Amino acid sequence: RRPPRSTRKESSAASDVYKRQKEANAVTTQAHNKLQTSIKKQDNNRIRVRDKSDRATTELVMDSRTRIILLKLIKKQLLDEVSGCISTGKEANVYHALNASEEEFAVKIYKTSILVFKDRNRYVDGEYRFRRGYCRHNPRKMVAMWAEKEFRNLSRMRAAGIAVPLPVAVKGHVLVMEFLGKHMIAASTLKEVSFETLEEWEETYVSVVEILRMMYHSCKLVHADFSEYNLLLHQSKVYVIDVSQAVEFDHPMALEFLRRDCANINSFFESKGTGVFGLKQLFYLIVDKALKFSRERVRELLKERKEGVGEEDRFSDALFKELHIPRTLFEVEPEKLFTASEEQLVSLVN
């Protein structure tokens, strides 16, 4: 028996409604899929941008990883807050920080987005501490190793009695150390200092010579970037900073670096009108182990130097600046060993 006409009309209307709903659902699903695809593309683009900026420490901006490291240091109650930037450089920025007891700290954050570390191989290759290699192809790991290297160098110099900031902690590419200054005002570099008398400059020069010798003999280190920019005057005492590039004294280029350090210091103090040692004399004053070193002896030698500086001394210094310095007897030509005098052989060994 056929259903009534009214029932057939209702069934047809329901079928039409079902079809329209099905078509609408198909459109909705299609729109939903397009929306999801669009969101994925945006996410992928966002990730690519983050790889370039959010994961790199540039200028004065901290990346997300750096903020995580600082938050961990705060969570450990090592720090309570990190405030403004004290100084900036091509390799790192230094920030001022406080702990819960209002003690001041310097937080050195190495930059990880720059390529200046690619020329740092000469400070690492041939050094015993890196005999098992290092991550030269991973900038972040390379910078973290650089921060750890500075922490260890500071610790070694501090133990030897050299005035350096007290290293507190190192985490990744973040180094926490003692703040040299007061109320967020950092101590002045020697470049910024202005003494009233020449005697003060001369006494500072004697202190700097003493630091170089102590680094070489007590710490077995050569700074490799020793200049007026990396020496601070704090509480009437000369402090050494930025020792990340310092190398062991048996490094293949250690003596070359030391000669350059001596030249930098002499050039700066000469510009202040201070009497300085000749380059060759200062070099041997630092490396000569047999010399009975004291501040009084340095003052005496400096006084003798002032009284008799001739053209021969200047020529000798200019020649010494260009000569290759043999690190071992294996680097000396055999003919020179056989023809050298006893004094010359002693100087080569020392």
321-331 pLDDT tens trace:
777 776 665 56
Alpha helices in the chain, H assignment, sequence order = 5-52, 64-75, 121-124, 139-159, 198-217, 254-271, 279-287, 295-307, 311-322, 334-339, 342-349
Mean of per-residue pLDDT scores for the chain: 79
Query: Cα–Cα distance between 79 and 82 in angstroms, integer?
Result: 8
Residue 105: alpha-carbon gap to chain centroid: 17
What's phi and psi for 236, nearest 5 deg?
Answer: 65, 25
| Selected residue with higher pLDDT from 303 and 156 | 156
- For the record, the structure tokens of 165 come out as 């900031």
pLDDT at residue 25 greater than cutoff 80 = no
pLDDT at residue 7 greater than cutoff 70 = no
Residue 200: its pLDDT value, please? 95
What's phi and psi for 140, nearest 5 deg?
Answer: -65, -40
First-to-last C-alpha distance (Å) of the chain: 123
Catalytic residue list contains 242? yes
Any bridge partners for residue 238, and if so which?
A: 233
Work out whether strand 167-171 and strand 104-110 pair parallel, antiparallel, or are unpaired: unpaired
Residue 84: its pLDDT value, please? 84
**108 and 92 in contact (C-beta within 8 Å)?**
yes
Mean pLDDT of 180-206: 94
What band does 232 get if pLDDT is binned at 50, 70 and 90?
very high
pLDDT at residue 260 greater than cutoff 50 = yes
**243 and 157 in contact (C-beta within 8 Å)?**
yes
| Selected residue with higher pLDDT from 64 and 331 | 64
Q: What is the pTM of this model?
A: 0.75
Could you tell me which residues come within 8 angstroms of residue 328 by beta carbon, excluding any fewer than 6 positions away?
Answer: none
Could you tell me which residues come within 8 angstroms of residue 349 by beta carbon, excluding any fewer than 6 positions away?
Answer: 329
Residue found under tokens 């500071």: 154
Least confident of 75-79, 81-85, 110-114: 110-114
**276 and 269 in contact (C-beta within 8 Å)?**
yes
Catalytic residue list contains 317? no
Least confident of 106-115, 124-133, 267-276, 339-348: 339-348
Q: Over pLDDT 90: what percentage of the chain? A: 45
**232 and 180 in contact (C-beta within 8 Å)?**
yes
In the 3-class helix/strand/coil scheme, how is 265-294 assigned residue by residue?
HHHHHHHCCCCCCCHHHHHHHHHCCCCCCC
> One of 80, 119, 125, 225 is an active-site residue; which one?
225
Mean pLDDT of 154-180: 96
| Selected residue with higher pLDDT from 105 and 114 | 105
| Selected residue with higher pLDDT from 263 and 317 | 263
Query: Cα–Cα distance between 171 and 193 in angstroms, integer?
Result: 33
Q: By three-state DSSP, how is residue 56 classified?
A: coil
Mean pLDDT of 153-161: 96
pLDDT at residue 39 greater than cutoff 50 = no
- For the record, the structure tokens of 244 come out as 């990340």
In this structure, is the dihedral angle defined by the CA atoms of residues 54, 67, 140 and 92, taken in order, positive or negative?
Answer: positive
- For the record, the structure tokens of 38 come out as 């669009």
- To 10 degrees, what angle do helices 279-287 and 311-322 make? 60
pLDDT at residue 61 greater than cutoff 70 = no
What single string gives the DSSP state of each residue in 194-237? --SSHHHHHHHHHHHHHHHHHHHHTS-EE-SS-SGGGEEEETTE
Least confident of 23-32, 205-214, 227-236, 238-247: 23-32
Mean pLDDT of 261-269: 95
- For the record, the structure tokens of 58 come out as 């540039």
Any bridge partners for residue 177, and if so which?
A: 106, 167
> One of 63, 242, 261, 317 is an active-site residue; which one?
242
What band does 119 get if pLDDT is binned at 50, 70 and 90?
low
Which pLDDT tens digit goes with each residue over 134-150? 566 676 777 888 899 99
Least confident of 80-84, 205-209, 306-310: 306-310
pLDDT at residue 316 greater than cutoff 90 = no
